[in-house]
Structure 1
Amino acid sequence: MRGSTSAPTVRVLDVLELLARPGNERLRFSDVARELDLTQATAHAILKTLTDRGWVARDPDGKAFSLGPVLAAVAARAEAVRPLSGLALARARELARRTGYPTTIVERVNDTLVISAPETVTDEQFPVFPGDRIPYALPFGVAFAAWDAPEEQSAWIRRSPVTDPVVIDRIDAVLARTRDRGYDIDRATPALARATQLVGTLERDGLPAHVRQIMDQLMAECASIIFLPDDDPANRTHPIATLSAPVFDHRHRVALLLAVNPMRALTAAQLSTLRSELVEAAGEISASAAPDWPAPVSNVR
Structure 2
Amino acid sequence: MRGSSSAPTTRVIDVVEFLSNPGRRQQRFSDIVRELELTQATAHAILKTLTDRGWVSRDSVTKAFELGPALSLIAARVDAARAGLSVAREAVCRLVEATDMSASVVELAGSDLVLTAFERCEDSPIVPPMDERIPYAPPFGVAYAAWDTEDAQREWVQRAAADDAALARRLHDVLDETRKRGYDIDRMTPTIAQAAQLLGELSDVPRNVRGVIDRLRVEFAAVREMAAESGHSTWPVVTISAPVLDDTGHTRFLVAVHPLRPMSPSAIRTVGRHLLHETTRLSPA
Asked if Structure 1 and Structure 2 have the same fold, meaning a TM-score greater than 0.5 normalized by the shorter chain, the answer is yes
Structure 1, gaps ≥5 residues long? 292-301
Matches within 5 A, 1:139-218: 139-160=139-160, 167-200=167-200, 202=201, 204=203, 208-210=204-206, 217-218=212-213
| Matching residue within 233, 244, 251 for 1:247 | 244
Q: How many residues align?
A: 279
Shift of 1:93: 4.9
Match of 1:21 in 2: 21
8 Å contact from structure 1 (residues 103, 259) kept in 2: yes
8 Å contact from structure 1 (residues 187, 226) kept in 2: no
Matches within 5 A, 1:223-238: 223-228=218-223, 229=226, 230-233=228-231, 236-238=233-235
Q: CA deviation digits over 1:149-189, x for unaligned, max 9?
A: 54543332112256776654432332122111111111110
1:56 aligns with 2:56: yes
Q: Within 1, Cα distance between the matches of 2:2 and 2:172?
A: 29
Inter-CA distance 256–268: structure 2 relative to 1 (3 Å threshold): same
Inter-CA distance 39–97: structure 2 relative to 1 (3 Å threshold): farther
1:101 aligns with 2:96: no
Match of 2:258 in 1: 261
1:274 aligns with 2:271: yes
8 Å contact from structure 2 (residues 146, 178) kept in 1: yes
TM-score (structure 1 length as normaliser)? 0.76
Match of 2:281 in 1: 284
Q: Within 2, Cα distance between the matches of 1:36 and 1:7?
A: 13
8 Å contact from structure 1 (residues 193, 241) kept in 2: no
Shift of 1:246: 0.8
**Which SS does the other structure have where 2:102 is aligned?**
coil
1:117 aligns with 2:116: yes
Match of 2:92 in 1: 92
Shift of 1:280: 1.7
8 Å contact from structure 1 (residues 101, 262) kept in 2: yes
Q: CA deviation digits over 1:60-107, x for unaligned, max 9?
A: 455443333322221221122233334334433554566442523222
Q: Within 2, Cα distance between the matches of 1:67 and 1:175?
A: 41
TM-score (structure 2 length as normaliser)? 0.80
| Matching residue within 211, 216, 236 for 1:221 | 216
Aligned residue identity for 1:281? E
Q: Within 2, Cα distance between the matches of 1:183 and 1:56?
A: 42
Match of 1:129 in 2: 130
**Which SS does the other structure have where 2:236 is aligned?**
strand
Inter-CA distance 128–267: structure 2 relative to 1 (3 Å threshold): farther
Aligned residue identity for 1:255? R
Q: Within 1, Cα distance between the matches of 2:153 and 2:33?
A: 40
Structure 2, gaps ≥5 residues long? none
